[in-house]
Amino acid sequence: MVNLPTAPHSFRYVAIALVVTLSSLTAVLASPTLANASGRAVASCTGSNLVGAFVSNQVGTGHVVTTIAITNVGRRTCELGGYPTLRGLRGPREYALRVTGHGTYGGNLLPTTLAPRMSGALIVSTGDLCAPSYGVIPPSQVYTGMVVVMPKNAGTIRVPDATFDTTCGVYVSQLGWRNNFWIQGI
């Protein structure tokens, strides 16, 4: 036997559940991951479609962690990932740098998909407490900016205002994203 006073409440719960289900389904169908799974491959990002900007330096236990924002200024979605190489800038001159290692004191990033106007990042970690120049940074090791060379030589990104030194080595993260960029929250 149906209890008539509760029937309107049951109908309301069914209607709410239907709306939530349809909303969730719409969000899933609009997901870029699902679009990729359906056969539409997303091309890798290239330097010509990206712009870099210095975000911050964080210091912790003898390490300087520099975060660089990488923004997609192109018209198409692209995949940002892989380990870049770096060149140091001093004025207009570029200097080849040896990347000491992959992964940084500030952690690493995961590859990410960038829609137009979305940003990813790069983390560059250098040390400041190594011998033989402990406490004294040789001028030949200081750079006022960097050029990020995309993996597979897919172009470059200039970041002119990112001062860093290479006295104790240079470590780079993958290009990508993570939710936490705080150095203690690795």
Does 36 map to a domain?
no
Q: Based on the fold, state whether residues 131 and 82 are members of the same structural domain.
A: yes
Examine residue 37 and state whether it is found in any structural domain, yes or no.
no
Note whether 22 and 53 are same-domain residues: no
Same domain for 18 and 52, yes or no, is: no
- What is the chain's mean pLDDT, rounded? 78
* pTM (two decimals): 0.73
76-104: pLDDT as tens digits: 999 999 999 999 999 999 999 999 889 88
Residues of the chain with pLDDT > 70, as a percent, come to 68
Residue 40 lies in a domain: no
For residues 123 and 162, what is the distance between their CA atoms, to the nearest angstrom?
12
16 plus 97 within the same structural domain: no
Range of the domain at 160: 47-181
pLDDT confidence of residue 173: 94
For the CA atoms of the chain, what is the radius of gyration? Answer: 23
| Whether residue 26 is found in the same domain as residue 58 | no
Interatomic CA distance for residues 177 and 73, integer angstroms? 17
> What CATH number is attached to the domain comprising 136?
2.60.40
Residue with tokens 């870029």: 32
- 13 and 78 together in one domain: no
Q: Has residue 64 been placed in a domain?
A: yes
Q: Name the residue type at position 93.
A: R
Per-residue pLDDT tens for 145-178? 999 999 999 999 999 999 888 888 899 999 999 8
Residues 21 and 78 occupy one common structural domain: no
If one counts every other C-beta atom within 10 angstroms of the C-beta of residue 178, the result is 18
The residue ranking higher by pLDDT, 57 or 3, is 57
Asked whether residue 16 falls in the same domain as residue 60, the answer is no
